[in-house]
């Protein structure tokens, strides 16, 4: 990123494998800083915030809910407030809605119009979540999509597809894997993957090695 | 009414989903952060970001990568608001 002053001509800012949009984005930042519309430090801080977001916060919410039914009730009632209760940053979106997978119901989250996603709690959405085939097929062929991700639902399990909007973002509480009684919150959280909170995977059955 | 290009729910396709993970490139993070900063400063909002993306010519929308769409949208919004003069960014980029 450019930290240079503006007393010399701009050096070329593209590197070989970058699309033209890369130079465009940098030039746009330079222009907006010069015009005092944004401050470079604020943009840097925003980048720091973005890269600090990971699925770990969402996983902590889920694990706490598995351990504490009263917390899970509060999580289902208002996920923003539940996140704040644990000292987590739920982000700027007005509503985050947690939904619970059960023996009878499975939830799958999509944003058919674009890419809405609880980014503060899950980190940036994966590329496939933003891809045109996922956005189309999560609605027209959700069981096929799940199968592509390796999840086979029994025919009698109801599948609910949730379409996110800018105002409502969803977080799936996956089913707690059997045989995990006695695990700590931290150990349980390690089983809760990003994909399981989108609804395209089940949580891990055992903690990942390492 | 013909369906708009961004309205993908149920759009007929058999295309498989490319599940490869992709770490955001520097310029993608920068674009995201610029838009986030502009929103926090009240220069533009999320609805304007969406409208800008949705107003892309359909063939460009299909071709563009995710953050190329964001960039298109934020440029459009800033031009409409008079923050950027027409062609100003292109002139800056001209060799």
Q: Is residue B11 part of a domain?
A: no
Identify the domain containing residue B79 by its residue range: 26-51+58-93
B76 backbone dihedrals φ, ψ, rounded to 5°: -60, -45
Q: Is residue B87 part of a domain?
A: yes
pLDDT of residue A4: 43
Q: What is the DSSP secondary structure assignment for residue A20, as one 8-state letter? A: H
Q: What is the DSSP secondary structure assignment for residue B39, as one 8-state letter? A: H
What percent of chain B is modeled with pLDDT above 70? Answer: 99
Instruction: Break chain B down into helix, strand, coil percent, rounded to 5.
Output: 55, 0, 45
**Residue A114 a catalytic site member:** yes
Give the integer Cα–Cα distance in Å for A189 and A26. 38
**Chain A nearest C-alpha distance from B89 (Å):** 7
pLDDT of residue A5: 42
DSSP per position, B41-81: TTSS-HHHHHHHHHTS-HHHHHHS-HHHHHHHHHHHHHHHT
Q: Which of A33-37, A111-115, B59-63 has the lowest mean pLDDT?
A: A111-115
Q: In chain A, which residues have their Cβ closer than 8 Å to the Cβ of B25?
A: 18, 22
Q: In chain B, which residues have their Cβ closer than 8 Å to the Cβ of A25?
A: 27, 30-31, 34, 67, 71
Q: In chain A, which residues have their Cβ closer than 8 Å to the Cβ of B24?
A: 124
What percent of chain A is modeled with pLDDT above 90? Answer: 80
Give the integer Cα–Cα distance in Å for A125 and A111. 11
Structure confidence by residue, pLDDT tens digits, B2-33: 777 888 787 788 889 999 998 899 999 999 99
pLDDT of residue A7: 42
Interchain contact, A139 vs B10, CB within 8 Å? yes
Q: Calculate mean pLDDT across residues A115-140.
A: 92
pLDDT of residue B22: 87
**Is residue A2 over pLDDT 70?**
no
**Is residue A11 over pLDDT 60?**
no
**Chain A nearest C-alpha distance from B84 (Å):** 9
Query: What is the tally of structural domains in chain B?
Result: 1
What percent of chain A is modeled with pLDDT above 70? Answer: 91
CATH 3.20.20.70 fits A56-198, yes or no: no
Structure confidence by residue, pLDDT tens digits, B27-52: 999 999 999 999 999 999 989 999 99
A207 vs A107 pLDDT, higher one: A107
Q: Is residue B38 part of a domain?
A: yes
Boundaries of every domain in chain A: 20-52, 56-198
Q: What average pLDDT does the structure give for chain A? A: 90
Q: Is residue B2 part of a domain?
A: no
The answer to whether A151 faces chain B, any CB pair under 8 Å, is no
Q: Is residue B77 part of a domain?
A: yes
pLDDT of residue A104: 97
Q: How confident is the model at residue A6 (pLDDT cuts 50, 70, 90)?
A: very low
User: Nearest-CA neighbor of B14 among A141, A12, A90, A160?
Assistant: A141
Give the integer Cα–Cα distance in Å for A151 and A106. 11
**Is residue A81 over pLDDT 60?**
yes
**Is residue A157 over pLDDT 50?**
yes
Q: What average pLDDT does the structure give for chain B? A: 91
Give the integer Cα–Cα distance in Å for B65 and B71. 10
- Structure ipTM: 0.92
pLDDT of residue A137: 94
Interchain contact, B26 vs A112, CB within 8 Å? no
C-beta of residue A122 within 8 angstroms of C-beta of residue A194: yes
pLDDT of residue B76: 96
Q: How confident is the model at residue A194 (pLDDT cuts 50, 70, 90)?
A: very high
Q: Calculate mean pLDDT across residues B50-66.
A: 92
Interchain contact, B30 vs A135, CB within 8 Å? no
pLDDT of residue A140: 92
**Is the four-CA dihedral A208, A176, A93, A158 of positive or negative sign?**
positive
**Chain B nearest C-alpha distance from A124 (Å):** 9
């Amino acid at each position: 990123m450019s930290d240079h002053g503006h007393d010399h001509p701009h050096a070329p800012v593209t590197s070989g494998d970058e699309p033209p949009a890369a130079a465009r984005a940098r030039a746009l930042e330079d222009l907006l800083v010069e015009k005092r519309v944004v401050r470079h430090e604020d943009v840097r801080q925003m980048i720091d915030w973005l890269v600090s977001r990971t699925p770990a916060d969402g996983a902590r919410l889920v694990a706490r809910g598995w351990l504490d039914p009263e917390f899970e009730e509060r999580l289902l009632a208002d996920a923003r407030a539940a996140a704040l209760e644990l000292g987590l940053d739920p982000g700027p979106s007005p509503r985050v809605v947690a939904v619970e997978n059960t023996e009878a119901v499975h939830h799958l989250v999509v944003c058919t119009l674009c890419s809405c996603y609880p980014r503060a709690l899950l980190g940036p959405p994966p590329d496939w979540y933003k891809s045109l085939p996922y956005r189309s097929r999560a609605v027209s062929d959700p069981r096929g999509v799940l199968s592509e991700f390796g999840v086979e639902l029994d025919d009698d399990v109801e599948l609910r597809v949730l379409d996110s909007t800018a105002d409502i973002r969803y977080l799936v509480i996956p089913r707690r894997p059997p045989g995990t009684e006695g695990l700590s919150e931290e150990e349980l959280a390690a089983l809760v993957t990003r994909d399981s909170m989108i609804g395209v995977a089940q949580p891990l059955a055992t903690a990942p090695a390492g | 009414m013909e369906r708009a290009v961004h309205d993908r729910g149920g759009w007929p396709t058999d295309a498989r989903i490319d599940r490869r993970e992709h770490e955001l490139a520097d310029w993608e993070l920068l674009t995201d952060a610029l838009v986030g900063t502009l929103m926090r400063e009240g220069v533009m909002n999320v609805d304007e970001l969406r409208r800008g993306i949705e107003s892309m010519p359909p063939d460009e929308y299909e071709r563009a990568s995710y953050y190329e769409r964001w960039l298109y949208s934020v440029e459009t919004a800033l031009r409409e608001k008079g923050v950027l003069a027409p062609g100003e960014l292109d002139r800056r980029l001209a060799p």
